[in-house]
Structure formats: structure tokens, C-alpha cells
């Protein structure tokens, strides 16, 4: 239903209807969520939220702009408090066009003189408009509207200005005759006597709207029984927020701390919800594939690194100092350089010593009896929560490998769900007797590999030299599509109590056995596996 039609329905439903004030997009949304079928775009509160007086100190286009945000944020009709119409009949008919263009359903104008003053500030000294001039304004507005259901409500200020019932009725009659769709009869008394007297005489000549700001103690049944059509709760959200803001600002200023505030204010998640953040997330999935969430990395760092002896007595290998800062800080910086900000570090041995700031930590408290895959599972569970099931690339790597950012750019290989880097210069490692995960690939490294899609056949530390094509560097990139696959494979492997100590190569081999393609990118160098004290010395010269 059109908003104009919905609003006309409120005026003519035959029941007492209610609309509530709003003064910006957020408060408009809150009004709609509370269940109101319409919104009052109050002149008082829109000017107040700008910090100015209700004396037409905001321009009419500023009001219009505010209304546009309110209308965009909601689906229920809005009636603008159009003050005196912001000028002559000519200004008013231009206003009508602009309101219609912005989806505003109705406007109310009051029979005072521009620039007006709020009715509750010395109302009885305020001059009223010439009746005929105001009639012409209403008629011009009605002639200007393009949508037949757009409503113009004429507000009679006779009581406010100190006139009696006779003047109020005379004016209402004139405005009704000029085409007004309803009369708003306003009163500044603390009792509803004036508006009830008016309604009694007016009967049902057209719908009557009231604003019980001053006679707030009146029971709503009184309005119902009198046959009013619409009640406007005119300023209460702004007033509620003033009280809350004053209290909160004072408290924060006094306490210089947020502890006692936090539970008494809306969480930022509620702010995001009201702003419609979720819709944007979903739209990004449709229109910005792969970019919904920034890529992330998991750094497996639960083990001690026993080979380093006393160096790892009070901290794990990942916290060993290299050129003045922990190994983990070097790794984090390299990831950051490659644009990967979200880093999840799995801690285990001496977990409290692992405290490089700015990283996400999860703990594998069973690190002594379990292996890398249990650690990885902890990390994926953590990402599942915070990343809403991910939806982006993830790199898994080890906490004892220093590397150049170049490695990460190699892993970016588009369109592949699983990518590993393999060092083709493996012979030296082998000859030095290093423990390593050797890789068997579909093709050896050669000049032609650039044009060949090389895939991994198997990883292992027990591979015959003749079959080795390179050394796995410990990096696995998983795409958003690969994420659920890896999760299932991991759950399968870990469902067997015998396999709690399994490592990353076991997972990768299982992925291959299940028919997944693991893309191999060959490279030489640009990384350093830190296992021994000699490696540590080499790390001192390593240039990320
Ligand atoms: C407004 O909300 O701006 C009104 C109603 O015009 S009142 O403040 O009661 O005049
Ligand atoms: Mg007003």
C-alpha cells in the first residue's frame, strides 16, 4: 500500500489511531519497530536535534533532508509538521511537490505567521494568520498535490493564541471548506476541555487530530469516546533521549570510566542492527564475491620447540627473540604487510607467555597429548563464531616459520580452493639431514611449470628420495569454498581417538585421498624453518 493511502486510512479508520514523533532516521526506525502505524515529523524535535529553536531556524530544505532519511529508514507513513508552510501559498505548494517526491504521506500546517514560535512558548501572544490567506494556502496545496491520497491537515491555533471556541470553529470550518483533509485542534491546557468542547461542536465534519502533550494525564478512553481520529505523541522520543544522554554524559565525565555505563546503554551491535548492517553483509555476498570478509590466517604455535633447550624453558618457540622482538611479531608483521590483519594464534605450551598484542588467541590446553590438527580445530571453531562461518580466504601456517610476504602473494592463486607452496630447492635440506615434510607432486619443478597446473600427490617425512619434488613450507591456503571441506575432513580425522596427534600433512593427504586438488606453487627460498640454534642464528640475518 502507498504510504499516502496508509496515512489516509489512519485518518478515516473510524478508530482512534496513534502516531509518534521522530526526528531523524534512527528515531523513525525505532518508532516503526515499536509498532506505530505512522510517524510525526515534529518541528520542535527536528529543530531541537539540530540544536536550534523551534522558530524556523532550520531551513525548509534542511527539514526536507532530515525527512528523507526518516522516510528511507521506514515503511510507515510520515506526516510532516510543516509549521506555517515556510512562506506563502507559493512556498507551500513547492513544499508539497518536494514532500511527494520524498515519499512523505502528509503535512500539517498551522495558522500562524512565518517565522513561527512553538505553541508552548507564550502562545497567547502569538498572532494568527489571516483566515483567507490560510485558506488560499490550503487550496494551493491541495491543487499542487499529484497523489490524491496525500493529506493536508490544517492546525487551528485559536485556543493557543487565547481565542475561544467560536474562533476555533470558524477557522476549522474555513479550512475544511478549502479542502483540508483533517483538522488538528491544539491546546496548551493541562486538561482536555478545549479540544473536547471543539470536538463536541465539530462532530464528524472531518477527522480531528490532537496533540495531548500538555493534557497528558487524560485517559486515552476519553479521546476514544469523544471520537477523535488521531493522537500525536509529539516529542517523547527526543525528550527520552535528552534525559538518557544527560545522565550518561555526566556519569562518564564524573567517573572517567565506562564500567557502570556499558550495561545501561544499547550495545554497538544494536546500533549496527538499526543501521541495517546485516543487509549490507548479504548484499556483499551477492555483489562482491570473495570480499565479504577480509582474509585471515591461523598460526599454529602450541608446541614448545624442545630442540631449542633452555631457550624454550619459560616460553614457547614462537616467543623467542629475533632481532629484538618475538618470532611471532615478525610473522604477524609479514601477514599484515600482505594485507592479512586477522590472525588467530593457537597457544599451548606456556600460553601466558604468548602475548604479542593485536592478535586473536585460542588455546589448545591438551597440547601435550594432541597434535596440530586439534589445534587447528580450535582455531576453526573460533573463526566459525566470529567470522559467521568465514566466507573468505584463510592461510594456515606454523609459528616457527619466518617468511617473506612474497610467499603469501604466491598463495593468492585465484580460483583454487587449496594451495600450498613447495620449495623446489630441497636437496640441501635433505643432505643436511633436516626433518621435513617432503612433497610428491604431479610434475617436477621446471621452466614449464608456469604453464602447467601442478598438484600435490602426497606429503610425508618418509618419502623415497627418488620421488621427492620439493619440501612443503608449511603453508596451506584454503578458499571460502574449501573451508567447509577442510572442517569436515578435520572432524572425520579427529573423530578417531587414535588420531589426536595427527599433523597438517595427515589432513592434506586426506584431502587428496578424498579427491580434492591441492595446487602446488613452486618457489625457492624466501622462508626459514626454525628448529635449531643454528636456525636461530640464520634468522638473525633473515630479511622479511
Ligand atoms: C511539534 O511537535 O513541533 C508541534 C507540536 O508542533 S507542539 O510542540 O505541541 O506545538
Ligand atoms: Mg511544531
Relative to the CA of 155, which ligand 1 atom is closest?
Answer: 6
- pLDDT tens-place string over residues 66-112: 999 999 999 999 999 999 999 999 999 999 999 999 999 999 999 99
The cell numbers describing 299, all together, are: 598460526
- pLDDT reported for residue 536: 76
**Residue closest by Cα to atom 2 of ligand 1:** 42
Q: CA nearest 96: which of 25, 55, 44, 146?
A: 146
**Residue closest by Cα to atom 5 of ligand 1:** 234
Q: Of residues 223 and 430, which shows the higher confidence score?
A: 223
Q: CA nearest 111: which of 65, 176, 62?
A: 176
Please check whether residue 183 is in contact with residue 176, taking contact to mean a CB–CB distance below 8 angstroms. yes
Asked whether the predicted pLDDT for residue 360 surpasses 60, the reply is yes
Q: Name the phi and psi angles at 340, rounded to 5.
A: -100, 110
- Tell me what percent of the residues of the chain surpass a pLDDT of 70: 97
- pLDDT reported for residue 326: 92
Q: Which of 44, 66, 230 for mutating ligand 1's site (highest number of atoms within 8 Å of CB)? A: 44
Do β-strands 325-326 and 321-322 pair in parallel, antiparallel, or remain unpaired?
antiparallel
Cα of 39 to ligand 2 centre, how many Å? 14
Relative to the CA of 211, which ligand 1 atom is closest?
Answer: 9
Q: Which of 54, 108, 124, 210 for mutating ligand 1's site (highest number of atoms within 8 Å of CB)? A: 54
- pLDDT tens-place string over residues 270-317: 999 999 999 998 898 788 765 555 678 999 988 887 777 777 888 888
Mean pLDDT lowest among 58-62, 141-145, 252-256, 387-391: 387-391
Cα separation of 467 and 473, whole Å? Answer: 17
Cα of 234 to ligand 1 centre, how many Å? 6
Q: Of residues 528 and 300, which shows the higher confidence score?
A: 300
What is the Cα 430 distance to its own chain's centre? 52
pTM of the predicted model as reported, rounded to 2 decimal places:
0.68
Q: Name the phi and psi angles at 84, rounded to 5.
A: -100, 10
Task: Please report, for residues 29, 36, 67, 373, 438, the alpha-carbon distance to residue 33 in angstroms, rounded to integers and kept in the order given.
Answer: 6, 7, 17, 46, 60
Q: What is the mean pLDDT of residues 52-79?
A: 98
> Over the chain, what is the mean pLDDT?
92
Kindly report the CATH number that applies to the domain delimited by 3-234: 3.20.20.60
- pLDDT reported for residue 313: 82
- Which ligand has the minimum distance to the alpha carbon of residue 232? 1
- pLDDT tens-place string over residues 187-232: 999 999 999 999 999 999 999 999 999 999 999 999 999 999 999 9
Q: Which of 31, 42, 56 for mutating ligand 1's site (highest number of atoms within 8 Å of CB)? A: 42
- Tell me what percent of the residues of the chain surpass a pLDDT of 90: 70
- Which ligand has the minimum distance to the alpha carbon of residue 209? 1
Cα of 44 to ligand 1 centre, how many Å? 6
Kindly report the CATH number that applies to the domain delimited by 276-539: 3.90.550.10
Q: At what angle do helices 25-34 and 236-255 cross, to 10 degrees?
A: 120
Please check whether residue 337 is in contact with residue 467, taking contact to mean a CB–CB distance below 8 angstroms. no
**Is the peptide bond between 259 and the residue preceding it cis, with omega within 30 degrees of 0?**
no
- pLDDT tens-place string over residues 475-503: 999 988 888 899 999 999 999 999 999 99
For residue 150, the tally of other CB atoms under 10 A from its CB is 24
Question: How many residues are given for the chain?
Answer: 544
- pLDDT reported for residue 293: 57
Banded model confidence at residue 60, pLDDT cuts 50, 70, 90: very high
- pLDDT tens-place string over residues 21-38: 999 999 999 999 999 999
Mean pLDDT lowest among 157-171, 375-389, 504-518: 375-389
The cell numbers describing 361, all together, are: 588467541
For this structure, is 425 an active site residue? no
Q: CA nearest 302: which of 288, 282, 316, 322?
A: 316
- pLDDT reported for residue 388: 43
Q: What is the mean pLDDT of residues 335-361?
A: 89
Domain residue extents for the chain: 3-234, 276-539
First CA to last CA distance, the chain = 62
- Plot region of 391 (φ>0 → left; ψ -120 to 50 → alpha; else → beta): left
Q: CA nearest 396: which of 288, 297, 296?
A: 297
Cα of 428 to ligand 1 centre, how many Å? 84
The answer for residues whose C-beta is within 8 angstroms of residue 461's C-beta and 6 or more apart is 435, 436, 437, 438, 505
Domains 3-234 and 276-539 share a fold: no
**Ligand 1 first shell, C-beta below 6 A:** 42-44, 81, 118-119, 211, 213, 234-235
The strand pairing partners of 128, in sequence order, are 112
Amino acid at each position: 500500500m502507498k504510504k499516502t493511502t496508509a496515512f489516509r486510512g489512519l485518518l478515516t479508520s473510524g478508530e482512534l489511531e496513534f502516531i509518534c514523533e521522530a526526528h531523524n532516521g534512527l528515531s523513525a526506525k525505532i518508532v516503526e519497530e515499536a509498532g506505530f502505524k505512522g510517524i510525526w515529523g515534529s518541528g520542535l524535535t527536528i529543530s531541537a536535534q539540530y540544536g536550534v529553536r523551534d522558530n524556523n531556524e532550520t531551513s525548509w530544505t534542511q527539514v526536507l533532508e532530515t525527512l528523507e532519511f526518516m522516510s528511507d529508514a521506514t515503511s510507515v507513513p510520515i506526516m510532516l509538521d510543516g509549521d506555517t508552510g515556510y512562506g506563502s501559498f507559493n512556498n507551500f505548494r513547492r513544499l508539497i511537490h518536494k514532500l511527494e517526491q520524498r515519499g512523505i504521506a502528509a503535512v500539517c500546517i498551522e495558522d500562524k505567521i512565518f517565522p513561527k514560535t512553538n505553541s508552548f512558548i507564550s502562545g497567547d501572544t502569538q498572532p494568527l494568520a489571516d483566515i483567507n490567506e490560510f485558506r488560499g494556502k490550503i487550496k494551493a496545496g491541495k491543487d499542487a498535490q499529484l497523489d490524491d491520497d496525500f493529506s493536508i491537515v490544517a492546525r487551528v491555533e485559536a485556543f493557543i493564541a487565547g481565542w475561544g471556541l467560536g474562533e476555533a470553529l470558524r477557522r476549522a470550518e474555513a479550512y475544511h471548506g478549502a479542502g483540508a483533509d483533517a483538522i488538528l485542534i491544539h491546546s496548551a491546557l493541562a486538561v482536555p476541555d478545549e479540544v473536547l468542547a471543539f470536538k463536541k461542536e465539530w462532530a464528524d465534519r472531518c477527522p480531528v487530530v490532537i496533540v495531548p502533550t500538555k493534557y497528558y494525564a487524560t485517559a486515552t478512553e476519553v479521546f476514544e469516546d469523544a471520537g477523535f481520529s488521531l493522537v500525536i505523541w509529539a516529542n517523547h522520543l527526543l525528550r527520552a533521549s535528552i534525559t538518557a544522554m544527560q545522565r550518561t554524559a555526566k556519569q562518564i565525565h564524573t567517573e572517567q570510566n565506562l564500567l557502570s555505563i556499558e550495561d545501561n546503554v544499547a550495545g554497538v551491535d544494536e546500533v549496527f542492527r538499526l543501521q541495517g548492517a546485516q543487509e549490507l553483509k548479504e548484499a556483499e555476498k551477492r555483489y562482491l564475491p570473495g570480499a565479504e570478509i577480509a582474509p585471515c590466517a591461523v598460526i599454529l604455535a602450541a608446541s614448545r620447540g624442545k630442540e631449542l633447550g633452555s631457550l624454550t624453558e619459560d616460553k614457547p618457540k614462537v616467543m623467542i627473540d629475533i632481532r629484538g622482538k618475538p618470532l611471532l611479531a615478525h610473522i604477524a608483521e609479514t601477514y599484515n604487510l600482505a594485507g592479512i590483519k586477522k590472525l588467530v594464534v593457537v597457544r599451548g605450551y606456556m600460553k601466558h607467555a604468548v602475548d604479542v598484542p593485536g592478535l586473536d588467541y585460542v588455546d589448545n590446553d591438551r597440547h601435550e597429548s594432541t597434535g596440530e590438527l586439534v589445534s587447528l580445530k580450535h582455531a576453526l571453531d573460533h573463526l566459525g563464531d566470529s567470522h559467521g562461518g568465514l566466507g573468505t580466504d584463510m592461510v594456515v601456517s606454523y609459528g616457527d616459520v619466518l617468511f617473506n610476504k612474497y610467499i603469501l602473494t604466491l598463495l593468492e592463486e585465484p580460483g583454487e580452493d587449496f594451495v600450498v607452496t613447495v620449495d623446489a630447492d630441497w636437496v640441501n635440506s635433505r643432505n643436511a639431514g633436516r626433518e621435513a615434510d617432503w612433497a610428491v607432486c604431479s610434475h617436477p619443478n621446471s621452466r614449464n611449470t608456469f604453464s602447467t597446473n601442478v598438484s600435490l600427490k602426497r606429503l610425508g617425512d618418509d618419502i623415497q628420495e627418488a620421488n621427492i619434488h620439493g619440501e612443503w613450507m608449511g603453508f596451506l591456503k584454503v578458499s571460502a569454498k574449501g573451508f567447509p571441506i577442510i572442517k569436515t575432513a578435520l572432524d572425520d580425522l579427529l573423530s578417531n581417538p587414535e588420531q589426536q596427534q595427527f599433523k597438517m600433512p595427515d589432513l592434506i593427504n586426506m584431502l587428496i585421498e578424498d579427491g580434492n586438488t591441492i595446487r602446488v606453487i613452486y618457489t625457492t627460498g624466501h622462508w626459514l624453518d626454525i628448529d635449531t640454534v643454528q636456525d636461530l642464528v640464520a634468522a638473525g640475518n633473515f630479511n622479511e
